[in-house]
Amino acid sequence: MTTGQSKYERGLCPIKTPDPVWRELHKEFEEGGTDPGVFASLVINEDTTNDEVLERWIYFLDQKAHLTDLFNFLKQQIILWCEKNGKLTFSEDRYWFAGVEKRTKCRDAGKVIERLLILTGGDFDAVVGALSSNAIKPGYVKKLLQQQTPDTAEDEFDLLFEKVEVKKLTEKTTPPAKPQKSLIEVDKRFVR
């Protein structure tokens, strides 16, 4: 998004500005006069028309994009500041610094399971304790069940896996292709 130019100004959204009542509610909210839950129910409720909901939703998406732009720009400026001045300190236990985020990734699941079986003396429950909540691919298991036990595959699958409703709207984003510096927060109260 081009900073300083909204989606409306670039012609990507059909609705220009929220109605006056909505603008007044939003102003009151920004000034801290309304609880977020109360504000949301006043802005969008079962009596709100489709066009009003759409208009208000697009307005918030646009505002979120502006805040995201500002947030990302500020993070980049803080990264540059940290590279020059060191960590940004809130307290002895909490600070930010410029660094490359890292996550631990399994190199070979088969070798890890094999090693865990040896380390635990074959204790299956101990091996399962090393798995994360979504460590098993449902599609792969379903395919194996359909190949090996086609008559009971669906029932077995339903016993092993559950479908959970996701109760939020999401937008997909792609991670950066190469490691880049980011602002890393350290709060020693939560360090493992």
- Specify the number of domains making up the chain: 3
- How far is the C-alpha of 48 from the C-alpha of 22, rounded, in Å? 11
pLDDT at 77: 93
Q: Which amino acid is at 102?
A: K
What residue numbers bound the domain in which 14 lies?
A: 1-101
What is the spatial distance between Cα 159 and Cα 153, in angstroms, rounded to a whole number? Answer: 10
DSSP one-letter string for 132-161: -TT-S-HHHHHHHHHHH-TTTHHHHHHHH-
Q: 45 in a domain, yes or no?
A: yes
2 and 58: one domain? yes
Residue 113 falls within a domain, yes or no? yes
Structure confidence at residue 9 (pLDDT): 44
Q: What is the pLDDT, as a whole number, of residue 85?
A: 95
Say if residue 130 is in the same domain as residue 145.
Answer: no
**Do 97 and 15 share a structural domain?**
yes
Instruction: State whether 96 and 53 are in the same domain.
Output: yes
- Are residue 77 and residue 129 in the same domain, yes or no? no
Q: What pTM does this model have?
A: 0.49
**Same domain for 108 and 46:** no
Angle (deg, nearest 10), helices 36-43 and 20-30: 180
Please report whether residue 174 resides in a domain.
no
Q: What is the pLDDT of residue 34?
A: 63
Angle at 84 between CA 78 and CA 88, to 5 degrees: 45
Same domain, 37 and 126: no
pLDDT tens track, the chain, 192 positions: 444 554 444 444 444 455 666 666 667 667 666 677 777 777 788 888 888 888 888 888 888 888 898 998 999 999 999 999 999 998 888 898 898 877 777 788 888 889 989 989 999 998 888 888 778 888 888 888 899 999 998 999 888 888 776 554 434 445 545 566 776 777 777 754
116 belongs to a structural domain: yes
Distance CA 156, CA 126 (A): 24
Same domain, 113 and 143: no
In a domain, 177, yes or no: no
